[in-house]
Amino acid sequence: MAKTKTTYFCQNCGYESAKWLGKCPSCNEWNTFVEELVEPAKARVPDWRTASGPAAKRTNKASRIQEIAHREETRYVTPDDELNRVLGGGIVPGSLVLIGGEPGIGKSTLMLQLALSMPGAKVLYISGEESEQQLKMRAERLMQSPKAECFILTETSTQNIFKQMDAIAPQLVIIDSIQTLHSAQIDSAPGSVSQVRECTAELLRFAKETAIPVFIVGHITKDGAIAGPKVLEHMVDTVLQFEGDRHHVYRILRAIKNRFGSAAELGIYEMQGSGLREVSNPSEILLSQREDNMSGIAIAVLLEGVRPMLIEVQALVGTSAYGTPQRSSTGFDTRRMNMLLAVLEKRFGFRLSAQDVFLNMAGGLRVEDPAIDLAVITAIISSQQDIPVPATTAFAGEVGLSGEIRAVNRIEQRIAEAEKLGFETIYISKYNVKGLSTAKYQIAIKPVSRVEEVFQAVFG
């Protein structure tokens, strides 16, 4: 009889140890180790069905790379254009997609909408958290006639789930959520590191051998990372993050990892009583409708993947009431904001070291495009000098440490987006003008090379 192996796992990062440790050497968290029983390797079933299944009969042989035939990936195009964009053009057969997000953000709603809207497809929605009646009520609240043949299964055992998959033969499988599943191969509680890893491995084998795409919903920790071992994100093909504030109506679907497309794409939804609505023009929600010109506001033109959009940058500069000034930013890297403040003080003489600076990206968007630098420093100086920036002026440029304005990529798309939304002037780097045909644009293009040129033109 094989001896049962006992192992300690960190419930935060999945680090494995032969003995209990107070502090995890991997993630430095305290009191996260839990003892788990691990089944001996020879007692485990190698295939997701049986030991005599298709995996036991198949043998792979090495092939020269020149002999491998190239095939275009066929994708299932969903009615959700935002999801198609984030996935890289649609769902790839046999792919394993992990979607994470905070509780109540709308992950289950998004997945149920997908299950109900796939035209002519057979979809199996597996829920370990809600009953059939709860899912039926949610589907009725979405108020859309099912275009797919949607089956609901409330089960947590992977063995029973695979039996139902064999009986139904679905074209798409949705698991909600991976932390509720448990496999008989592992003698641990559902949600533990061993169970999450084993259940994901079984689903991965199922997806690759049957070419059926599988969506997995995952919980996140208090730090915002997907709960479970870090290897979970390495095993899947695509990792999506569903973000947003539960007190606001807009949700952002962001690709963190994508083996079949770009990992820089973004999808925006609006949460309504009848479900999630796609936002095809995000610039409209990221620009506030204000009647009077207010100081501390500048419009930046940024790119998320291949999608150009305009966002309102809001800054507030005031005298510090304490010895140490406050530096706070929402949706923008605080360290980069401190770098831009240092540039303004060192190169241009603005005394900001004794003033509080607050920065906010409107709409709850988190921005990483360096082209927003020029709008950030313009909004900061506008607030400090209490001089409003013209509402029809946009900015697209990266600011260097010496105060120069560096070129940004895809400037034609940025200019066209600003012109489409009715802006009259856009400031760009003069190094972007080379090869740019300015005659085809109605918007006034202002090429600049230094920050002081922008300040003189905007503030006088």
424 pLDDT higher than 60: yes
Select from 434, 317, 417 the least CA-distant residue to 371: 417
Region 256-276: what's the mean pLDDT?
87
Closest by alpha carbon to 368, among 278, 454, 305? 305
Together in a domain, 428 and 322: yes
pLDDT at 1: 46
Instruction: Kindly report the CATH number assigned to the domain that includes residue 94.
Output: 3.40.50.300
Q: What is the mean pLDDT of residues 4-17?
A: 80
**Is residue 152 located within the same domain as residue 220?**
yes
The stretch 398-412 carries a mean pLDDT of 93
Residue 124 has pLDDT above 60, yes or no: yes
Please name which of 67, 47, 66 lies closest in space to residue 57, comparing C-alpha atoms: 47
The answer to whether the annotation marks 101 as part of a ligand binding site is: yes
250 and 147 in a common domain: yes
pLDDT of residue 51 exceeding 50:
no
Pure H helices in 123-277: 132-142, 158-168, 193-210, 231-235
Q: Residue 380 annotated as binding? A: no
126 and 155 together in one domain: yes
pLDDT band at residue 101 under the 50/70/90 scheme? confident
Asked if 292 and 416 sit in the same domain, the reply is yes
- Pick from 420, 425, 415: which is nearest to 393 by CA? 425
In a domain, 68, yes or no: no
Q: Which residues pair with 251 in a beta bridge?
A: 244, 269
Query: What is the token pair recorded at 10?
Result: 């960190």
Averaged pLDDT for residues 103-131: 92
Structural contact between residues 239 and 223, judged by C-beta atoms closer than 8 angstroms: no
The answer to whether residues 272 and 394 belong to one domain is no
Residue 372 in domain: yes
Q: Flag whether 14 is marked binding.
A: no
pLDDT, residue 156, reads 92
Residues in a beta bridge with 446: 427
Q: pLDDT confidence of 205, banded at 50, 70, 90?
A: very high
| Domain finish residue from 280, 299, 318 | 280
The answer on whether 120 is annotated among ligand-binding residues is no
Considering the domain architecture, whether residues 163 and 299 belong to the same structural domain is answered as: no
| 65 known ligand binder | no
Q: Is the model's pLDDT at 454 over the cut of 90?
A: yes
pLDDT digits (tens, 9 = 90+) for 277-336: 998 888 877 776 666 678 999 999 998 877 889 999 999 999 887 778 899 999 899 999
| Span of 54-63, 385-394, 422-431 with lowest mean pLDDT | 54-63
pLDDT band at 56 (very low <50, low <70, confident <90, very high): very low
Residues 129 and 163 in one domain: yes
- Nearest-angstrom CA–CA distance, 256 and 236: 12
Number of domains in the chain: 3
Q: CA angle at residue 389 from 388 to 395, to 5 degrees?
A: 155
Query: Which residues span the domain enclosing 228?
Result: 76-280
Out of 247, 280, 313, a domain closes at 280
pLDDT number for residue 41: 47
Distance CA 187, CA 7 (A): 11
Total count of residues recorded for the chain: 460
Residue-wise burial string across 128-154, b where 16 or more C-beta atoms lie within 10 A, e elsewhere: bebeeeebeebbeebeeeeebebbbbe
Is 102 annotated to bind a ligand? Reply is: yes
Tell me the pLDDT of the chain averaged across its residues.
86
Of 21-35, 36-50, 56-70, minimum mean pLDDT range? 36-50
**One-letter amino acid of 345:** E
Residue 107 in marked binding region: yes
Confidence band (pLDDT; 50, 70, 90) for 378? very high
Residue 104 labeled ligand binder: yes
Residues 207-232: pLDDT tens digits?
A: 999 999 999 998 876 666 676 667 78
CA 365 – CA 377 distance, rounded (Å): 18
